[in-house]
Amino acid sequence: NYAHLFADPIFAKAIVNTLVWTVLGVVLQLAVAVPLAIALNVEFKGRGFYRGMLLIPWVMPSVVAAFTWVWMYDGSFGIFNHLLMKLHLIDQPIIWLGDKKTALYSVLAEQVWKGFPFPMVMLLAALQAIPKDLYEAASVDGAGAWQRAWRITMPQIAPALALCTVFITIWTFNSFENIWLMTEGGPLNASETLTIYVYRIAFQSFDLGLASSSALIMFAMLSVVIFFYARHVSKQEER
């Protein structure tokens, strides 16, 4: 089974797609979540309303979210093509989910949109737990905004950030519903990840042995993430 897997070009393509999907997905989710958490940590009018609105992607059912994005990506009447053409950024509609160059990244945009609220809420809770006395003492000592952020904020939220990174890495790596509903791994396996590959082998080709071998490789890849997180936690406990 393993010899067959590593000789299969589609399996190799699935591994590359999975790594690209996971790395970009985690980085982009955190890139959206961290600034929003910092912004929502500041007191302003209507803050509770915006917090609730930003949680909508997270609580929306995966099927509803996937089909909503499929509609927005539609080449004939999708809102993305409509806006881009109105802004004269494109001359003709783009078939986002039907082009092998854009399919994976189009589904990834939906993944980031649906996934960022979780790390945002986790980081916001960590930010609100930081004692304000630390910032006041730092200001008295002459620390600037950048120094306060780097010396106080980042160390205080580092444990929550590490935990968020592990969670969203696992969830992004194991994503299935949105990829299957939006592209089914196509076109020409352009958006096929390991989860889609295992599903095809197990429930379309009915080769459960090969699918189990693929799943074990997925487990081994995720074990690397768990290992580094456990090592990070042990170092934190020693300190």
User: Tens digits of per-residue pLDDT, 42-97?
Assistant: 888 888 898 889 999 999 999 999 999 999 999 888 999 999 999 989 889 999 99
For CA atoms 116, 118, 121, 127, give the dihedral sign. negative
Q: Do the beta carbons of residue 192 and residue 14 sit within 8 Å?
A: yes
Lowest mean pLDDT among 105-114, 140-149, 181-190: 140-149
pLDDT at 155 over 90: no
Is the bond leading into 187 cis (omega within 30 degrees of zero)? yes
- Spatial contact of 93 and 102, defined as CB atoms under 8 Å apart: no
User: What is the per-residue DSSP string for 191-224?
Assistant: T--HHHHHHHHHHTS--HHHHHHHHHHHHHHHHH
DSSP state of 91: S
pTM: 0.90
Statement: residue 232 has pLDDT above 80: no
Q: Taking every pair of C-alpha atoms in the chain, what is the biggest distance, in angstroms?
A: 68
216-231 pLDDT, tens digit each: 999 999 998 888 888 8
Q: How far is the C-alpha of 110 from the C-alpha of 95, rounded, in Å?
A: 16
Calculate the average pLDDT of the chain: 91
Q: What is the mean pLDDT of residues 185-208?
A: 93
Query: Which residues are CB-neighbours of 176 under 8 A, at least 6 positions away?
Result: 195, 196, 199
